[in-house]
Protein backbone atom coordinates (compact mmCIF):
# COMPACT_ATOMS: atom_id res chain seq x y z
CA UNK A 1 0.00 0.00 0.00
CA UNK A 2 1.26 3.45 -0.87
CA UNK A 3 1.10 5.92 2.00
CA UNK A 4 1.85 9.48 0.96
CA UNK A 5 2.80 12.22 3.39
CA UNK A 6 2.65 15.63 1.74
CA UNK A 7 3.38 19.07 3.17
CA UNK A 8 1.82 22.30 1.96
CA UNK A 9 -1.31 20.30 1.23
CA UNK A 10 -4.04 22.84 1.90
CA UNK A 11 -3.85 24.64 -1.45
CA UNK A 12 -2.24 24.78 -4.87
CA UNK A 13 -0.01 21.95 -6.05
CA UNK A 14 -0.08 20.17 -2.69
CA UNK A 15 -3.87 20.02 -2.60
CA UNK A 16 -4.05 18.78 -6.18
CA UNK A 17 -1.44 16.07 -5.55
CA UNK A 18 -3.23 14.91 -2.40
CA UNK A 19 -6.56 14.61 -4.21
CA UNK A 20 -5.05 12.88 -7.24
CA UNK A 21 -3.22 10.40 -5.01
CA UNK A 22 -6.42 9.64 -3.11
CA UNK A 23 -8.20 9.02 -6.41
CA UNK A 24 -5.50 6.46 -7.25
CA UNK A 25 -6.24 4.62 -4.02
CA UNK A 26 -3.26 5.88 -2.02
CA UNK A 27 -3.55 6.62 1.68
CA UNK A 28 -2.78 10.33 2.07
CA UNK A 29 -1.60 12.12 5.20
CA UNK A 30 -1.76 15.86 4.59
CA UNK A 31 0.13 18.52 6.51
CA UNK A 32 -0.20 22.30 6.32
CA UNK A 33 -0.59 25.27 8.63
CA UNK A 34 -4.06 26.15 7.32
CA UNK A 35 -6.49 23.96 9.23
CA UNK A 36 -9.50 25.30 7.30
CA UNK A 37 -7.94 24.28 4.01
CA UNK A 38 -7.02 20.87 5.41
CA UNK A 39 -10.59 20.31 6.58
CA UNK A 40 -11.88 21.07 3.10
CA UNK A 41 -9.27 18.74 1.61
CA UNK A 42 -10.31 15.87 3.89
CA UNK A 43 -13.96 16.35 2.91
CA UNK A 44 -13.00 16.18 -0.77
CA UNK A 45 -10.78 13.13 -0.30
CA UNK A 46 -13.40 10.38 -0.24
CA UNK A 47 -12.15 8.99 3.07
CA UNK A 48 -8.55 8.49 1.94
CA UNK A 49 -7.07 11.78 3.22
CA UNK A 50 -6.25 12.50 6.87
CA UNK A 51 -5.24 15.93 8.17
CA UNK A 52 -2.21 16.50 10.37
CA UNK A 53 -1.71 20.26 10.86
CA UNK A 54 1.87 21.40 11.28
CA UNK A 55 4.40 24.12 10.58
CA UNK A 56 7.46 23.10 8.56
CA UNK A 57 9.57 25.77 10.25
CA UNK A 58 9.03 24.04 13.64
CA UNK A 59 11.46 21.09 13.60
CA UNK A 60 10.33 19.49 16.85
CA UNK A 61 6.67 20.05 16.04
CA UNK A 62 7.09 18.50 12.60
CA UNK A 63 8.76 15.42 14.09
CA UNK A 64 5.72 15.04 16.33
CA UNK A 65 3.46 15.35 13.27
CA UNK A 66 5.26 12.46 11.56
CA UNK A 67 4.96 10.41 14.75
CA UNK A 68 1.20 11.02 14.67
CA UNK A 69 0.97 10.26 10.94
CA UNK A 70 2.61 6.85 11.28
CA UNK A 71 0.72 6.00 14.46
CA UNK A 72 -2.57 6.67 12.68
CA UNK A 73 -1.92 5.47 9.12
CA UNK A 74 1.12 3.21 9.25
CA UNK A 75 4.59 3.66 7.74
CA UNK A 76 4.99 6.44 5.21
CA UNK A 77 6.24 5.10 1.88
CA UNK A 78 6.33 8.33 -0.15
CA UNK A 79 7.02 11.85 1.15
CA UNK A 80 6.46 14.93 -1.02
CA UNK A 81 8.04 17.98 0.60
CA UNK A 82 5.96 20.58 -1.16
CA UNK A 83 5.43 23.44 1.31
CA UNK A 84 7.04 26.69 0.26
CA UNK A 85 6.45 30.35 -0.41
CA UNK A 86 7.46 33.20 -2.70
CA UNK A 87 7.82 36.93 -2.41
CA UNK A 88 9.30 39.22 -5.07
CA UNK A 89 12.61 40.84 -4.15
CA UNK A 90 14.40 43.83 -5.62
CA UNK A 91 18.14 44.00 -5.23
CA UNK A 92 17.97 47.79 -5.50
CA UNK A 93 15.90 47.82 -2.30
CA UNK A 94 17.60 44.92 -0.57
CA UNK A 95 15.62 43.60 2.41
CA UNK A 96 17.42 40.76 4.21
CA UNK A 97 14.31 39.89 6.21
CA UNK A 98 12.61 38.66 3.03
CA UNK A 99 15.61 36.46 2.26
CA UNK A 100 15.62 35.13 5.80
CA UNK A 101 11.93 34.23 5.57
CA UNK A 102 12.06 32.52 2.18
CA UNK A 103 15.19 30.56 3.04
CA UNK A 104 13.69 29.52 6.40
CA UNK A 105 10.53 28.24 4.70
CA UNK A 106 11.76 26.89 1.37
CA UNK A 107 15.11 25.45 2.44
CA UNK A 108 14.74 25.22 6.21
CA UNK A 109 11.30 23.66 5.87
CA UNK A 110 12.70 20.99 3.55
CA UNK A 111 15.51 20.27 6.02
CA UNK A 112 13.07 19.99 8.92
CA UNK A 113 10.85 17.66 6.91
CA UNK A 114 13.82 15.50 6.00
CA UNK A 115 14.89 15.38 9.63
CA UNK A 116 11.47 13.99 10.50
CA UNK A 117 11.22 11.36 7.76
CA UNK A 118 14.71 10.23 6.68
CA UNK A 119 15.66 8.36 9.88
CA UNK A 120 12.54 6.22 9.38
CA UNK A 121 13.30 5.58 5.73
CA UNK A 122 16.95 4.71 6.33
CA UNK A 123 16.05 2.40 9.21
CA UNK A 124 13.54 0.58 6.97
CA UNK A 125 15.91 0.71 3.98
CA UNK A 126 13.03 1.85 1.80
CA UNK A 127 11.02 4.93 0.94
CA UNK A 128 10.78 7.67 -1.62
CA UNK A 129 11.15 11.39 -0.93
CA UNK A 130 10.54 14.14 -3.47
CA UNK A 131 11.59 17.73 -2.79
CA UNK A 132 9.61 20.40 -4.60
CA UNK A 133 11.98 22.97 -6.06
CA UNK A 134 11.23 25.14 -9.12
CA UNK A 135 12.50 25.90 -12.59
CA UNK A 136 13.65 29.13 -10.91
CA UNK A 137 16.46 27.00 -9.48
CA UNK A 138 18.11 26.74 -12.90
CA UNK A 139 19.43 30.33 -13.04
CA UNK A 140 19.04 33.62 -11.20
CA UNK A 141 16.01 35.60 -12.38
CA UNK A 142 15.20 39.30 -11.88
CA UNK A 143 13.15 40.27 -8.83
CA UNK A 144 13.47 36.73 -7.47
CA UNK A 145 16.82 36.60 -5.69
CA UNK A 146 15.49 35.08 -2.47
CA UNK A 147 13.26 32.58 -4.24
CA UNK A 148 15.89 31.49 -6.75
CA UNK A 149 18.53 31.14 -4.04
CA UNK A 150 16.28 29.04 -1.79
CA UNK A 151 15.10 26.77 -4.59
CA UNK A 152 18.59 26.32 -6.06
CA UNK A 153 19.65 25.16 -2.61
CA UNK A 154 16.75 22.68 -2.49
CA UNK A 155 17.80 21.26 -5.86
CA UNK A 156 21.42 20.88 -4.79
CA UNK A 157 20.27 19.24 -1.55
CA UNK A 158 18.19 16.73 -3.50
CA UNK A 159 21.11 15.96 -5.83
CA UNK A 160 23.41 15.24 -2.89
CA UNK A 161 20.86 13.13 -1.07
CA UNK A 162 20.17 11.11 -4.21
CA UNK A 163 23.83 10.09 -4.20
CA UNK A 164 24.02 9.49 -0.46
CA UNK A 165 20.84 7.48 0.01
CA UNK A 166 20.72 5.22 -3.04
CA UNK A 167 22.90 2.65 -1.30
CA UNK A 168 20.45 2.36 1.62
CA UNK A 169 17.36 1.86 -0.51
CA UNK A 170 15.89 5.36 -0.26
CA UNK A 171 15.00 7.02 -3.57
CA UNK A 172 15.29 10.82 -3.79
CA UNK A 173 13.67 12.94 -6.49
CA UNK A 174 13.36 16.64 -7.24
CA UNK A 175 10.31 18.37 -8.72
CA UNK A 176 10.84 21.43 -10.93
CA UNK A 177 7.45 22.98 -11.77
CA UNK A 178 7.11 25.93 -14.10
CA UNK A 179 4.24 28.36 -13.60
CA UNK A 180 1.27 26.59 -11.98
CA UNK A 181 -2.00 28.35 -11.26
CA UNK A 182 -2.01 28.68 -7.44
CA UNK A 183 -2.91 31.38 -4.91
CA UNK A 184 0.76 32.49 -5.05
CA UNK A 185 0.95 32.80 -8.84
CA UNK A 186 -2.46 34.49 -8.90
CA UNK A 187 -0.67 37.48 -7.34
CA UNK A 188 1.77 37.80 -10.25
CA UNK A 189 1.29 40.84 -12.47
CA UNK A 190 3.55 39.68 -15.31
CA UNK A 191 2.87 37.19 -18.13
CA UNK A 192 3.37 33.55 -17.10
CA UNK A 193 4.25 31.46 -20.17
CA UNK A 194 2.97 27.89 -20.41
CA UNK A 195 0.81 28.27 -17.28
CA UNK A 196 -0.25 24.84 -15.96
CA UNK A 197 -3.41 24.04 -14.03
CA UNK A 198 -2.79 22.34 -10.65
CA UNK A 199 -4.60 19.15 -11.70
CA UNK A 200 -2.29 18.75 -14.70
CA UNK A 201 0.73 19.43 -12.48
CA UNK A 202 -0.45 16.78 -10.02
CA UNK A 203 -0.81 14.21 -12.80
CA UNK A 204 2.75 14.86 -13.96
CA UNK A 205 4.08 14.62 -10.40
CA UNK A 206 2.33 11.34 -9.63
CA UNK A 207 3.52 9.81 -12.89
CA UNK A 208 7.05 10.85 -11.96
CA UNK A 209 6.71 9.41 -8.47
CA UNK A 210 5.81 6.07 -9.99
CA UNK A 211 8.98 6.10 -12.10
CA UNK A 212 12.68 5.89 -11.41
CA UNK A 213 13.93 9.22 -12.77
CA UNK A 214 15.48 11.87 -10.56
CA UNK A 215 13.92 15.01 -12.02
CA UNK A 216 10.19 15.63 -12.48
CA UNK A 217 9.99 18.83 -14.55
CA UNK A 218 7.13 20.45 -16.45
CA UNK A 219 5.81 21.87 -18.71
CA UNK A 220 8.29 20.33 -21.13
CA UNK A 221 8.58 23.21 -23.60
CA UNK A 222 9.20 25.74 -20.85
CA UNK A 223 11.73 23.48 -19.14
CA UNK A 224 13.54 22.95 -22.46
CA UNK A 225 13.82 26.70 -23.05
CA UNK A 226 15.09 27.37 -19.53
CA UNK A 227 17.66 24.60 -19.76
CA UNK A 228 18.91 26.14 -23.00
CA UNK A 229 19.30 29.45 -21.15
CA UNK A 230 21.34 27.63 -18.52
CA UNK A 231 23.87 26.71 -21.22
CA UNK A 232 24.44 30.30 -22.33
CA UNK A 233 27.54 32.16 -21.18
CA UNK A 234 26.78 34.89 -18.64
CA UNK A 235 27.25 37.76 -21.09
CA UNK A 236 24.55 36.41 -23.41
CA UNK A 237 22.30 35.24 -20.60
CA UNK A 238 22.22 38.59 -18.82
CA UNK A 239 21.64 40.49 -22.07
CA UNK A 240 18.81 38.22 -23.18
CA UNK A 241 17.00 38.15 -19.84
CA UNK A 242 17.34 41.91 -19.40
CA UNK A 243 15.87 42.51 -22.85
CA UNK A 244 12.98 40.08 -22.33
CA UNK A 245 12.06 41.31 -18.84
CA UNK A 246 12.85 45.01 -19.24
CA UNK A 247 15.15 45.19 -16.21
Judged by phi (left if over 0) then psi (alpha if -120 to 50, else beta), residue 176 lies in beta
**CA 105, CA 111: separation in Å to the nearest integer?**
9
**CA 227, CA 73: separation in Å to the nearest integer?**
40
Give the other-Cβ count within 10 Å of 90's Cβ. Answer: 13
Give the chain's radius of gyration (CA, Å).
18
* DSSP β-bridge partners for residue 50: 29
CB-neighbour burial class of residue 187 (10 A; exposed 0-12, middle 13-18, buried 19+): exposed
- For residue 32, CA distances in Å to 45, 82, 161, 187, 216 come to 15, 10, 24, 20, 22
Kindly report the CA angle at 88 between 87 and 92, in degrees rounded to 5?
Answer: 135
- Residues taking part in catalysis: 147
Amino acid sequence: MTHLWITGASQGIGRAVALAAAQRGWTVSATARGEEGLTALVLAGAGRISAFPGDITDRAGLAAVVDAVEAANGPITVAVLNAGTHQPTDGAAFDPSVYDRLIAVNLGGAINSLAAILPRFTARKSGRVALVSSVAAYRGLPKAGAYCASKAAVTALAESLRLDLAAVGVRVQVIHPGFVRTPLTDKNTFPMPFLVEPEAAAARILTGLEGNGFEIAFPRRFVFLLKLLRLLPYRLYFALVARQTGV
